[in-house]
Structure 1
Amino acid sequence: MRLQVGCPTNDFDATKTFTEWILRIGEGNISGPNDGEAEVEFLKDVIVRSTSDHIHSIVLTIYSSFENHLDDPSYFQDKDIFVPTNEEVDAINDYMLRLMKDEGKTYINLDFFCKTESKYCFKESIYSVDVLNVFKTSGIPNHKLTLRTGVPVMLLHNIDQTKGLCNGTRLQIVRLGKHVIETHIIGGRFFNETTYKLHMKFTLFDKRILFRFLQKQFLLVVCFAMTVNKSQKQSLSTVVLYLHRPVFTHGQLYVVASRLTSKKCLKILICDDEGRLTNKTKNVVYKEVFQRL
């Protein structure tokens, strides 16, 4: 459906070929018969050239003049960088923030222990607040949230679905206050509408520590880059996929390909196990998923 929207009438055959290629990736049929893992080879015209600093190379590919567009929500509306893991997301977002002249603000979260009836509650004494601060998990802001005016961010929880404020909604920072952040929505039917984000308290549970604790923070994360899993609600016309390491679970490569509105949208930088650039990567499909469909 995305390809149909972005397909010129004179490019139908190429779009059809690309659609079939995406479906073969999703079904695990790329590169012939396989046991669920197969090698995918990309054409040279989608490969990002790089020397030693790969993050610098992908940033030049997609955000070459971003500082001139920090007051333009449409600039970030249809572009992003996809990576497999949160560690790589943090590395790219930190790199982008360091390029900006605006000092911005750093918000430190507040962690509190919750009353719990768990039989493991005695273990709470092991964990100081400083220990809680270093836990990182999906859907939770980092302990230190550094933001600058014009930066694209992503909402981490559903707040008001009727106004488009859902988990995965992308926003752009307009103004930073001590307890309130003004943003513009940069995607969907509520594009460019103004919203305000407050410091919020929410309860967290991580199976690594076996009890609940409260955190107070803005439910936002910088999103110059995002994980492949977080990209599933997006439709984008410019995507750079950075595979410093291969995808590691079912359908991740398919998710990236199916976010695109055109074959020309995709650029990719792939490293092999020894860190050298290549145009081949692994596709992972658990074929038992399709056995009873």
Structure 2
Amino acid sequence: MEKQNIKSFAEWLLQIGDGNIGDPDDSDPQNVSWVKIPYKYYINNDENGLSNLISFIYNDDLLRQPNALQLQQQAIVCPKNETADLINEAIIQKIERAERTYTSFDSAIPYNNDRGQA
């Protein structure tokens, strides 16, 4: 998606957030609206759909050289954890870095020689 389309999409999302776009739901018109997504913002639901979404949010350079700060500045929001898990797995597979496993354990450490004595 070109920069002009990205700007247009961002402005459209802000309009939704401000309550300027959407048709009120008859069951709860004060709190619920139906929003029709313009065709130009569709991502096809085919074998490349998820890959296209990831590429739109996280460019290839970022996935080749991941940076925690830059990764925190982008997000794909999902209504279900299962969907988020699928997207996260697809993103992890695209990241070109050596895999690392960090282990930790929890333990109680006395503070100021406090050994739990009353």
Structure 1 segments of 4+ aligned residues over 6 angstroms from their partners: none
Unaligned runs of 5+ in 2: 1-10, 108-118
Q: CA deviation at 1:55?
A: 1.7
Q: Does 1:100 align with 2:95?
A: yes
CA deviations over 1:131-167 (Å, ceiling 9, x no partner):
xxxxxxxxxxxxxxxxxxxxxxxxxxxxxxxxxxxxx
Once the two structures are superposed, what CA deviation does each residue of 1:91-138 show, in whole Å capped at 9, x if it has no partner? 1111122223434134xxxxxxxxxxxxxxxxxxxxxxxxxxxxxxxx
Which structure shows the bigger proportion of residues in strand conformation?
1
Percentage identity across paired residues of the two chains: 13
CA distance in 1 between partners of 2:13 and 2:84 (Å): 28
RMSD of the alignment, in Å? 3.3
Residue 34 of structure 1 corresponds to 26
- 1:33 deviates by 5.2
Q: Distance in 2 between matches of 1:21 and 1:100?
A: 33
**TM-score, structure 1 length as denominator?**
0.26
Measure how far apart 1:38 and its partner are: 4.6
Residue pair 2:23, 2:34 contacting (<8 A) in 1 also = yes
In structure 1, list runs of 5 or more residues that go unmatched: 1-14, 107-177, 180-198, 203-293
Tell me which structure has the larger Cα radius of gyration: 2
Superposed counterparts of 1:8-87, under 5 Å: 19=14, 21-24=16-19, 30-32=22-24, 34-36=26-28, 38-65=33-60, 66-70=62-66, 72-87=67-82
2: CA distance between counterparts of 1:99 and 1:81?
A: 15
Larger relative contact order, structure 1 or 2 (CA cutoff 8 Å, min sep 6): 1
C-alpha separation between the residues in 2 aligned to 1:53 and 1:24? 32
From the two aligned structures, give the one with the greater helix fraction: 2
Distance in 2 (CA, whole Å) between partners of 1:32 and 1:48 is 25
